[in-house]
Structure 1
Amino acid sequence: MFTEERLDAITRALQEKGKVRVKELSEQFHVTEDCIRKDLKALENAGKLKRTYGGAILSQDYPLERDVVDRKNYHVDKKRVIARKAFELIKEGETVFLDISTTNMELAKLLASQSKRVVAVSNMIDILQILAKNPRITAIGTGGTMYQGVNGFMGIAAIEVIRQYSFDRVFIGSCGIDMVDGTITTLGAEDGLTKKAAIQNGRHKYVVMEREKFYFNESYKFAHLDDVSGIVTDEYPDKSIVDALESAGVRLI
Structure 2
Amino acid sequence: MIVSENIGVKVNEKPGNLRAEPVAGLLSEPRRRRILDWIQEEGSARVRELALAFQVSEATIRQDLERLEQDGQITREHGGAFLNSLPAQVGTMTLHHQDNMEQKRRIGALAAGLVKDGETIILDAGTTTTEIALRLTGRRNLTVITNALNIAVILGAVPGNAVHMPGGQFKAPTLSLSGDSSVEYFRNIFAAKLFLATAGVALDAGLTYPSFADLQLKEAMIKAASHVYLVADSTKINKSSFTRLGSLDVIHSFITDAGIGATDADAFRKRGIELLIAG
Query: Under a length normalisation based on structure 2, what TM-score does the superposition of the two structures give?
Result: 0.65
Which residue of structure 2 aligns with residue 151 of structure 1? 175
Q: Does 1:212 align with 2:235?
A: yes
Aligned positions of 1:1-253 closer than 5 A: 46=27, 66-67=40-41, 69-71=94-96, 73-112=98-137, 114-181=138-205, 183-253=206-276
- Residue 161 of structure 2 aligns with an amino acid whose one-letter code is I
Paired with 1:179 and 1:218, the residues of 2 have a C-alpha distance of 13
SS of residue matched to 2:260: coil
- Residue 139 of structure 1 aligns with an amino acid whose one-letter code is V
The answer to whether the 8 Å contact 1:207/1:228 transfers is yes
The answer to whether the 8 Å contact 2:103/2:257 transfers is yes
Aligned residue pairs total 198
- Residue 131 of structure 1 aligns with an amino acid whose one-letter code is L
The answer to whether the 8 Å contact 1:115/1:136 transfers is no
Gaps of 5+ in 2: 1-24, 43-93
SS of residue matched to 1:241: helix
Give the deviation of 1:245 after TM superposition: 0.7
SS of residue matched to 1:204: strand
The answer to whether the 8 Å contact 1:96/1:168 transfers is yes
- Residue 145 of structure 1 aligns with an amino acid whose one-letter code is Q
From the two aligned structures, give the one with the greater helix fraction.
Answer: 1
Percent identity reads 23
| Alpha carbons of structure 1 residues 117 and 216: separation in structure 2 relative to 1, 3 Å | same
| Alpha carbons of structure 1 residues 203 and 236: separation in structure 2 relative to 1, 3 Å | farther
Paired with 2:171 and 2:29, the residues of 1 have a C-alpha distance of 31
Larger Rg: 1
> Which structure is richer in relative contact order (CA contacts within 8 A, separation 6 or more)?
2
Paired with 1:139 and 1:167, the residues of 2 have a C-alpha distance of 13
Residues 60-109 of structure 1: per-residue CA shift (max 9 Å, x gap): 7xx95534954353222111101111111112211100111111111111
Give the deviation of 1:48 after TM superposition: 7.3
Which residue of structure 2 aligns with residue 54 of structure 1? none
SS of residue matched to 1:189: coil
The answer to whether the 8 Å contact 2:95/2:126 transfers is no
Paired with 1:67 and 1:221, the residues of 2 have a C-alpha distance of 15
- Residue 167 of structure 1 aligns with an amino acid whose one-letter code is A
Paired with 2:120 and 2:246, the residues of 1 have a C-alpha distance of 21
| Alpha carbons of structure 1 residues 109 and 72: separation in structure 2 relative to 1, 3 Å | farther
- Residue 92 of structure 1 aligns with an amino acid whose one-letter code is D
